[in-house]
């Protein structure tokens, strides 16, 4: 079992995780009866307080859905929507590029494939960035990366540049699910 313990004023939180589910134990202490926290000991019940155990789902339900959760849902929703629009954009642009630049079928298909290659290469990298610097930083970086190279790819004059820039767009798109 893996234990994590946090202390906040008069409430001590202990999170334990087993193979099947996570359990959050809350110990409420009376003021003035503060005891030191023993790391790694979850079964200790304070004689001066009340102990109650929640599953993670129950703890989330108890916290509720407030302003922060709405803001987070909107931000991640916009991120997923922009990623989807980047992919759908290819279905609109590639037929026009085929006519304009007189591209063969395999070259048109490669424009779409190169985006997925960029996503494949970057997925594990963005996961490591998210773990090291946080999900918020990673999400902002991958969205700015996608925006930058997406705008540059809109102004490409030749086929080789659109391949390079769409690959870099795919590199940025690979980070949104990791964040």
Convert the pLDDT of each residue in 15-70 to its tens digit: 555 555 555 555 545 455 445 444 444 444 444 455 567 787 887 788 888 888 88
Q: Do 167 and 108 sit in the same domain of this protein?
A: yes
Q: Torsions phi, psi of 147, nearest 5?
A: -60, -45
Is the Cβ–Cβ distance between 13 and 6 less than 8 Å?
A: yes
Q: Which two tokens stand for residue 143?
A: 């969205």
Domain stop point among 40, 63, 86 = 63
pLDDT, position 79:
86
Q: Of 21-25, 151-155, 158-162, where does mean pLDDT reach its minimum?
A: 21-25
**Same-domain status, 72 and 108:** yes
Return the ∠ at Cα 16 (arms to 12 and 21), rounded to 5°: 135
- Paired residues of 52 in beta bridges: 26
Q: Which of 19, 40, 63 is the last residue of a domain?
A: 63
% of the chain exceeding 90 in pLDDT? 41
Would residue 58 count as lying in a domain? yes
Looking at the fold, whether 57 and 79 belong to one and the same domain comes out as no
User: Do the domain assignments include residue 126?
Assistant: yes
Q: What percent of the chain has a predicted confidence (pLDDT) above 70?
A: 70
The gap between the terminal CA atoms of the chain, to the nearest Å, is 27
Q: Is the per-residue pLDDT at 9 higher than 50? A: no
* 107 and 52, same domain (yes or no): no
- Tens of pLDDT, residues 126-137: 989 999 999 889
Task: Answer yes or no: do 40 and 83 share one domain.
Answer: no
What is the extent of the structural domain holding 46?
Answer: 2-63
- Decide: pTM greater than 0.85: no
- Number of folded domains that form the chain: 2
Q: Which two tokens stand for residue 54?
A: 């929640």
| Residue 151 pLDDT > 70 | yes
- Using alpha carbons only, what angle is made at residue 97 by residues 159 and 177, rounded to the nearest 5 degrees? 80
Whose CA is closest to 127, among 75, 76, 77, 174?
174
Same domain? For 38 and 86 the reply is no
């Amino acid at each position: 079992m893996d234990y994590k313990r946090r202390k906040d004023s008069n409430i001590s939180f202990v999170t334990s995780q087993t193979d099947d589910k996570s359990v959050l134990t809350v110990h409420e202490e009376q003021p003035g009866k503060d005891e030191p926290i023993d790391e790694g000991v979850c079964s200790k019940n304070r004689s001066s307080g009340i102990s109650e155990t929640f599953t993670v789902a129950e703890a989330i339900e108890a916290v509720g859905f407030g302003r922060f959760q709405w803001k987070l849902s909107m931000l991640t929703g916009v991120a997923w929507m922009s990623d989807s629009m980047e992919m759908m954009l290819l279905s609109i642009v590639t037929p026009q590029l085929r006519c304009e630049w007189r591209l063969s079928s395999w070259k048109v298909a490669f424009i779409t494939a190169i985006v997925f290659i960029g996503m494949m290469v970057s997925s594990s990298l963005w996961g490591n960035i998210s773990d090291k610097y946080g999900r918020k930083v990673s999400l902002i970086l991958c969205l700015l990366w996608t925006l930058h190279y997406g705008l540059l790819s809109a102004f490409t004059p030749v086929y080789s540049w659109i391949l390079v820039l769409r690959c870099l767009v795919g590199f940025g798109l690979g980070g949104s699910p990791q964040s």
